[in-house]
Amino acid sequence: MAETPQKKVVRVEAPQASGDATARDSGPVWTPEPAAKAKATQLRWISWVAWILAIGVQAFAIFWVLKQVPINMWLLVGAIVVTGALSVTGSYFWKQANRLDPASKADTVRFFVQNQLGAIMTVVTFLPLIVLILLNKNMSGKQKALAAGIGIVIMLIATVLNISYQSPSQEQYAEETNIVQQLTGVDNVFWVKGGSVFHVCAAVPDVNKESQDGQIYEGTVAAAHAAGKERLTKRWQSEAVKYCGFTQEQVDAVDPARAADAPADQAPAEEAPTEEAPASEVPAE
């Protein structure tokens, strides 16, 4: 049996996926509920408002600030900073929307554009202004170097922040939901505030360590992703056996490929030696 968690477990209610996650040939691999879809749409509108404002600030800098003689450097630098802030804000909400309503990897172009649109819009809102600063005849070489340098640095920082490094996908959500449902019988996982992954039970050491608010959260796979968690922990197999009360046979039934790869004369190997360390020594995910 799974051990009792040491911290309070808080149920997180969030829209679940609709339809059969395994029905890969009859439609979308994973489909959000209407409430999640509506929330994602709202967040995407907020993103576009932020990006349009960023483009507006850029236009103000191009068609007014750069036309002045002499050029107000404080106003120009301020416009660059505001453009960067709006670009990052738009990308933040866009990423949140993608967690609620991810694209499918099957549509390669849409998957790339939807997940990397924040970085694309950063270049759109910065590059024209930087180019026109460098071509401006009313600025000295020192002024161009200062303004363009600040613009390039902020654009690069914003681009790095706006790139989606762990892009969510319908396939990922479907696979994780299937794993959890096949193993536990329900779509229910556990996580902590500040962590990047979620787990199959509340007894694992990682969710019982000291966390930002001292609570364990539980909910569906969709709820975990909506809360900002990137994925199911890669150690779910060993955690399920060691801490969650499941047998190796039950885990192998969910993950037959892993069982097939194991030598015939021994049980499947655990994922990492650090699993044997006390809970206080295992780095939290």
pLDDT tens-place string over residues 80-129 = 999 999 999 999 999 999 999 999 999 999 999 999 999 999 999 999 99
Please indicate, yes or no, if residue 24 is contained in any of the structural domains: no
Q: What is the pLDDT of residue 265?
A: 40
Q: What is the pLDDT of residue 43?
A: 96
Q: What is the pLDDT of residue 8?
A: 54
Please indicate, yes or no, if residue 252 is contained in any of the structural domains: yes
Q: Are 91 and 211 in a shared domain?
A: no
Whether the CB-CB separation of 215 and 192 falls below 8 Å is answered with: yes
- Rounded CA-CA distance 217/239 in Å is 17
Q: Are 107 and 211 in a shared domain?
A: no
Question: In the chain, pLDDT over 70 holds for what percent of residues?
Answer: 79
Q: What is the pLDDT of residue 256?
A: 56
Q: Are 77 and 157 in a shared domain?
A: yes
pLDDT in tens, 236-279: 999 999 999 999 998 998 875 554 444 444 444 333 333 333 44
Place of tokens 């206080």: 280
- Rounded CA-CA distance 211/142 in Å is 49
Q: Are 151 and 205 in a shared domain?
A: no
- Rounded CA-CA distance 30/9 in Å is 27
Q: What is the pLDDT of residue 207?
A: 84
- Rounded CA-CA distance 188/157 in Å is 37
Q: What's this model's pTM, rounded to 2 decimal places?
A: 0.76
pLDDT in tens, 7-37: 555 555 554 444 444 444 445 678 888 888 9
Please indicate, yes or no, if residue 35 is contained in any of the structural domains: yes
Please indicate, yes or no, if residue 255 is contained in any of the structural domains: yes
Please indicate, yes or no, if residue 96 is contained in any of the structural domains: yes
Q: What is the pLDDT of residue 275?
A: 36
On average, the pLDDT of the chain sits at 82
| Number of domains, the chain | 2
152-161, 178-187, 252-261, 264-273: lowest mean pLDDT where? 264-273
Could you tell me the residue range of the domain that residue 233 belongs to?
8-16+187-281
Please indicate, yes or no, if residue 97 is contained in any of the structural domains: yes
Q: Are 134 and 76 in a shared domain?
A: yes
Please indicate, yes or no, if residue 266 is contained in any of the structural domains: yes
Asked if residue 221 has pLDDT above 80, the reply is yes
Terminal-to-terminal C-alpha distance of the chain: 24
Q: Are 61 and 106 in a shared domain?
A: yes
Q: What is the pLDDT of residue 25?
A: 47
Please indicate, yes or no, if residue 21 is contained in any of the structural domains: no
Of 225, 155, 156, which is closest to residue 196 (Cα–Cα)? 225
Q: What is the pLDDT of residue 6?
A: 58
Question: In the chain, pLDDT over 90 holds for what percent of residues?
Answer: 58
